[in-house]
Structure 1
């Protein structure tokens, strides 16, 4: 069989059985003979890919020594190197694969993965771009997401969002693609755009409490505290055991000067998670606004003991 190109052949079940038994015997004995052809070594290495990566690399390397034009041997050895975290070796094999099989566009994706893991973000963007130029309507759209994430790391926010938009156009109901776009908008402070994105997420998955929680956070960022409370209410109905929903609803109640409701939510958040210093610190702030100085100081002190010091200066200025 010619393995320089990936191909499909039709063979009889009996022939497959013979090949399997013969192949299994050779793998089991782990013997390499001088008479083994490059294709024999490649096929044996291929069978080892899942069972023993180091052995697979050894056999694929021997096949390459016998025939340096086996594109598939470089390709699978590169993927195996990548899985073992040897990214420079993987990239070298991917480059050789492309040299031998320039029509194999998927190699650009693997080159991008390797470059990303080596910290070469700009080169990763270039590799993903090469893949996209050859497959502009790849229905998985994953290449746009990957390139978008790389652009975001480089500070190219608009470029990242453009890629996320393309991904969601190709796969409008792909939940994680819409989520990536939402996160990009929110982290960049584009809250109105983030609001549209989280609405898309709710449309895709209306049962997940987290999207209502995220929408509440966006409303809070926009100072729409009544709307934030409403979203946190839905999040709590869908998952009453998530402490963050109570914690953030408490902050919205506080902004609305509904201190009793805020205090009740802080208490619930702490009952669900008593190891988060920020919960005690914010409850201390609420108690202080309600005129409970001593209890506020106790909460700020607990927050500090848990490693949260954002409001700890108040212990010195207010409590002493």
Structure 2
């Protein structure tokens, strides 16, 4: 009986100790969990810290981290609430606005994302990453002229910018200047030969030029560097379709879907059966 009583007392102390964690304890725990990519525990720790001291000004950072953790978990609506709450504390926080803009893009709310990038550049007109991302977003929305303005400004700010070259190459492909795009991809590949995305971009330009053997070479290089990128398999499927090999193309698209590519879009590519 005596041992049972001692065990009960120890259990009570352990339980009370868990509930008595301080604000800083929860914050420290959240960083540990984030480093381990334990998103569920990180979310719990961050929420516990914010609830422990709701008026603490550091909560802006914690809510930002919480939003990012929730994005990792696929809880996009919760992530948006966390970013919104963080921006209520620090409404001019550029990093927060960029995070929310990226989330809006992920949620296919492009106009909202554009507004956040506009705010970032209103507060810091030389924010290079925001210029690059806003330029690409404008391109996606079909505003090629505005996209070019952002990318040319980025070039002016930083003539060595890889983002400026990649962004301009993407724009040139959309405007069917494939050879010019390839020249820009050549430049960034010489500087960063281990980046698979650059080979995918150049391979796509070769594909549109009907230089399928060249596209094959870039696809092979990209696969060696990052075999889990679904866009590589999508590009390879398009090349196979151009060669009238729909059966193998279907296998590549199935692989792309398993890696996160949109299933409906994959089906549309296969149904078209022609170069896209």
Same fold (TM over 0.5): yes
Report the alpha carbon displacement of residue 284 of structure 1 after superposing the two structures with TM: 0.9
Residue equivalent to 2:174: 255
Residue equivalent to 1:124: 42
Distance in 2 between residues matched to 1:305 and 1:169, nearest whole Å: 47
Cα 1:287–1:172, aligned 2, differ >3 Å: closer, same or farther? same
Structure 1 residues 64-103: aligned runs within 5 Å = 99=17, 102=20
Distance in 2 between residues matched to 1:213 and 1:100, nearest whole Å: 46
- RMSD (Å), alpha carbons: 3.3
2:117 to 171, 194, 198: 198
Residue equivalent to 2:186: 270
Residue equivalent to 2:74: 155
Residue equivalent to 1:302: 217
What is the aligned length? 217
Q: Is the 8 A contact 1:182 1:194 kept in 2?
A: yes
Structure 1 residues 41-80: aligned runs within 5 Å = none
1:224 to 125, 143, 153: 143
Q: Is the 8 A contact 2:100 2:116 kept in 1?
A: yes
Cα 1:96–1:115, aligned 2, differ >3 Å: closer, same or farther? farther
Q: Deviations over 1:55-96 (max 9, x none)?
A: xxxxxxxxxxxxxxxxxxxxxxxxxxxxxxxxxxxxxxxx96
TM-score (norm 1): 0.57
Quick check: 1:172 aligned with 2:91? Answer: yes
1:183 counterpart SS class: helix
TM-score (norm 2): 0.65
Q: Tell which deviates more after alignment, 309-318 or 243-252.
A: 309-318
Residue equivalent to 2:209: 287
Distance in 1 between residues matched to 2:71 and 2:202, nearest whole Å: 34
Residue equivalent to 1:50: none
Q: Deviations over 1:28-78 (max 9, x none)?
A: xxxxxxxxxxxxxxxxxxxxxxxxxxxxxxxxxxxxxxxxxxxxxxxxxxx
Distance in 1 between residues matched to 2:32 and 2:14, nearest whole Å: 14
| Structure with the greater alpha carbon radius of gyration | 1
- In proportion to residue count, which structure has more helix? 2
Cα 1:129–1:301, aligned 2, differ >3 Å: closer, same or farther? closer
Quick check: 1:110 aligned with 2:38? Answer: no
Residue equivalent to 2:264: none
Distance in 2 between residues matched to 1:104 and 1:307, nearest whole Å: 48
